[in-house]
Structure 1
């Protein structure tokens, strides 16, 4: 039986939401922008957003590889681990895959030279700028959530393997 996802990952989700809100609040404090100001800000923030997307893509791909290693360790444990652990790993993989795809799409979007376009109305740049801030904040929040979910899973495995603690993940019925 899979535990309720939100109650099981409450701390991780809170961490991601806090990151999203913190990043979004910083963007909100900039106030209203004209299209021209937004175009200039997009130009100046382009390298930072590309770096963020690259970091998230590389990090999420590495996390997926770590999950495979974690599954190998989990299957080699003397104690029988409950299915709940594998659901945790699957949830991390799902979130991480969404994060990977989202970062890749945002990165690809910024490979389009939108600030060089002559046909795009200047007023659109403000919308593009706000959307960029929203999605980069969202991706940052997702990244924090995935990292915290991964930390919780690693902590559980370390408690079981290293400290031989009785954990809710260990099936005592043999």
Structure 2
């Protein structure tokens, strides 16, 4: 786990930074009344739908790119460690979570809640804050997935394109390396 965080530290910190930055922007709004929340929801609904559409489209594209990345990884004459393929799996897992979350949020935004007379006005403030928090998290997760993908592509470019040694390459001393990796995993 420590190696995973170390390898993806910039991706994780980038996603957290975006989520926190967005949340701080939201916090600057301060307390709002229920009527203000309803008005803000009316004004921001189109933008929220666009954000969800963009995230759905981007995460679907990233899944397709991961298949291409897997093909390139497998097709190289270099021996890549299992860690590289686990990294691709983790990116795919985060991407699917992002895809499903954005799709669910998109569906929720398409409920005609603003036109309903049965929704108590007190709910709009909570709905507004929840949508802002969730969209902040989705934005942060999107940045994390993109930066994780960047790290993986950067590693492949170093290995295949630049023909340089990399930690994801099996070395000639394969047995020593496996023993070292197993001892590090035991810690």
Q: How does 1:92-111 map to 2 (within 5 A)?
A: 92-111=91-110
Q: Aligned pair in 2 of structure 1 residues 74, 3: CA closer, same or farther (>3 Å)?
A: farther
Indicate whether 1:17 and 2:10 are aligned: no
Partner of residue 155, structure 2: 156
Structure 2 unmatched ranges of 5 or more: 175-187
Q: How far apart, in 2, do the equivalents of 1:5 and 1:92 lie?
A: 12
Answer whether contact 1:3 1:84 (CA < 8 A) is retained.
no
Greater C-alpha radius of gyration: 2
Partner of residue 33, structure 2: 34
CA RMSD of aligned residues (A): 1.1
Q: How does 1:9-158 map to 2 (within 5 A)?
A: 9-158=8-157
Partner of residue 171, structure 2: 172
Structure 1 unmatched ranges of 5 or more: none
**C-alpha displacement of 1:40:** 0.5
Instruction: Provide the aligned length of Structure 1 versus Structure 2.
Output: 173
Deviations 1:75-121 (A, max 9, x none): 01111111000011000000000000010010000000111111111
Q: TM-score normalized by structure 2?
A: 0.90
Q: TM-score normalized by structure 1?
A: 0.97
